[in-house]
Each structure stands twice: as structure tokens, then as C-alpha cells.
Amino acid sequence: MKIDFSKEKLTLVNELIYRIKIMETMTKELIYFQKNTTFREIQLKLKEKKISGVPILDTQKNIIGIVSTDDVITAFDKKYIDEDIDKYMTQEVITVPQNFSIVSALQKFEKYSIGRLPVTEFLHSKKIVGIITLSDILKKLLEVTQSIAGKIENEESKNSKISSDFIKNAPKKFFRFEGNGDDFNCAGKVASITKKYFIELGIDKEIVRRIAIICYEAEMNICIHSLGGIITIEIDDENNAIICARDNGPGIPDINLALTPGFTTASEKVRALGFGAGMGLPNIKNFADKFEIRSSLESGTQLKAIINLGVKNENK
């Protein structure tokens, strides 16, 4: 079977194959033989268990070979089916350590055109602790994606119940913060107050994090680049958080250039602190559902970011 690693279509699976470990996926109940076994005994076992190969282990469970259906067929053909396997078995066995991600197993399946891999205790060890097949991996992936889907569904229904009530009752006041240019110590305040407020409303953590990131970057921009400005945050009737940042100048001469990742006009002093890497505005744009920016050298910069709170209004 060919595995399609296509990035666009399988982002989740692509992430999972790097995250899930072989030890969570492999079969631990191992069927194996020792070297004083005949091919016929193995053939019967393969048939009984409907499997396509078995590892051959020594008494310490170290791997010394492998016998596959192909080897059994060859044994029939060459008429040594009733002989012991140790002369004929494949001795160069490809294995994979249990603490590697399943992507390592998938790569070996493809590279060596095999369908099963004995799993070792750790790298360079020969001790076998399980076996992993493509169907083990597919089963695990299905299991994990299903549980993720279940979790998302649960959270969505919880969200729409709890927080739409909360939001209805929440004071519709909006926050307003003033920031001075060059005031690094206050930066982060808007983001942390805003974050606490939305967490208390019961909004999904991931959405709150996006709001906080946008607030923080907007604050930093006011600190680093402007002569001072204000940030307001409010919730509209469609349950969107609207973050507006306005400053008193000096304005951005070329907005497209400012939105280019990596472009910066920050001073050396600011950059030494890990700011002004030309990622602020691109970050705001990426984390917002909608993003508008206007700037002129006369009126300064106005930025508006809209984030849906993931809360549905109840049906009338």
C-alpha cells in the first residue's frame, strides 16, 4: 500500500504520525519462534493466526531472524519445508525502536517494501518488545482522530450553551487602554487583562489565546513604533471580539511592506530584547478572522482585528 504524505490534505494525520509513538501503537502480544523450529510449524502458525511473518528470537528475546510467507513458499519449492529454519531464515532483520514516532515505521515499510516490523526496546538494542504493522498504525490513527473529533464536538456544544448565556449577561462595556510610546514595562497588560476577561466568559482557550496574541502584538507596536495610542476591545452582536488599535502617528509609509514577514524598522535596542523581528503585523493578520489596517502620515495608524468567539446565538 502506498501512503500519501500530501501536506495540504492530511495536515492532522501528518502531525499525528510524528506525535504518536510506536510503543502506543504496536501489538505487544508477540507471536514468535525459536531457531529449532521447522518451516512447516511456522506455516501452520501463519495460517492459523492469519499473519504474514514471525520473528525468530533467542532465549533472551533478542532477535536473530525472521520468517515470512515468502520464505515458507521458497521452502516448499526447494523441498526443505520439514527442516529447521536457522539455515535459511532471513538474518538481516529490519527493526524499529519503540520510542520512535510511527512515521519511522511508515518510512521503513515503504523503503524496504515490508508490511511488518519487529519493535526493539531502544535504539541499537536487539531485544524485541512488540511488532508493528500498517494495520496497527491505521487503527491507531482512526482511534485518535475519532477521539479528537469527539472532543471538538463536545467543546462546541458546551461553548454554545454556557457562554452564550454568559455573554448575554456580560456587561457590554468595552475596554480602553492607553499606551505611551516606548513604555515597555506596561506592555503585556492589555493582553493579560483581556485574556482573563474572556476566560471568565467561558470562551474556548485557543480562541482566547489568539485574542491575547493580537492584543500583545498591537500593544508592542504602539510601544515600539508610535507616539502613543489606544486599544479598545468589545464584543459585537454576532459574538465577535473586535480589537481596535489607534495611534497618534507617525504612520506607516508602505503598509504592504510592513505586512511582509521579516520587514522591520525597529531600533537595535528594541531588537536586542527580542522584538521588532518583522513578525508583529503578520502575526495579527494570521491570528485574526478578519483584519483591516489603515495608515497615513497625517492621521497615524488604525488597526482592526475581528475574532469569532465560537459561540452561537440561541435560536429564536
Partner 1 sequence: MKISEIIEKCQLKKVVFDADHEIRNGYTGDLMSDVMANAQPESIWITIQAHKNSIAVALIKDIKAIIFTNNVSIHQEVIEKAKEEKINLFQSRKDSFTISGEIYSMMEGKTEKD
Nearest to 67 by CA among 50, 36, 43: 43
At 115, which helix (H) or strand (E)? none
Using rule CB under 8 A, residue 289 touches partner 1: no
Binding of partner 1 by 268 (CB under 8 A): no
Which one of the spans 29-37, 58-66, 134-142, 282-290 is the region binding partner 1 (CB under 8 A)? Answer: 282-290
For partner 1, which residue of 120, 275, 295, 300 counts as binding (CB under 8 A)?
275
Q: Which of 128, 212, 233, 243 binds partner 1 (CB under 8 A)?
A: 212
213 makes contact with partner 1 (CB under 8 A): yes
- Binding residue count for partner 1, defined by CB under 8 A: 29
Q: Taking the complex as a whole, how short is the minimal distance between the CB of residue 99 and partner 1, in angstroms?
A: 5
What cell numbers appear for 124 in the block?
541499537
Close Cβ partners of 142 (under 8 Å, ≥ 6 residues apart): none
Per-residue contact string for residues 30-69; x = within reach of partner 1 by CB under 8 A: ----------------------------------------
Stretch that binds partner 1, among 50-58, 67-75, 189-197, 238-246 (CB under 8 A): 189-197
Give the type of residue at 26: M
Closest CA to 106 of 115, 97, 98, 119: 115
List the Cα angle 203/207/213 in 5-degree steps: 125
**Burial of 250: CB neighbours in 10 Å, binned 0-12, 13-18, 19+:** middle
The residue with cell 467543546 is 155
Q: Which helix (H) or strand (E) holds 175?
A: strand 175-179
Q: How far is C-alpha 316 from the chain's CA centre?
A: 38
Binding partner 1 (rule: CB under 8 A), the pick from 71, 136, 217, 247 is 217
Site residues, partner 1 (CB under 8 A): 21, 23-24, 99-100, 122, 184-185, 187-188, 191-192, 195, 205, 209, 212-213, 216-217, 220, 273-275, 277, 279-280, 283, 286-287
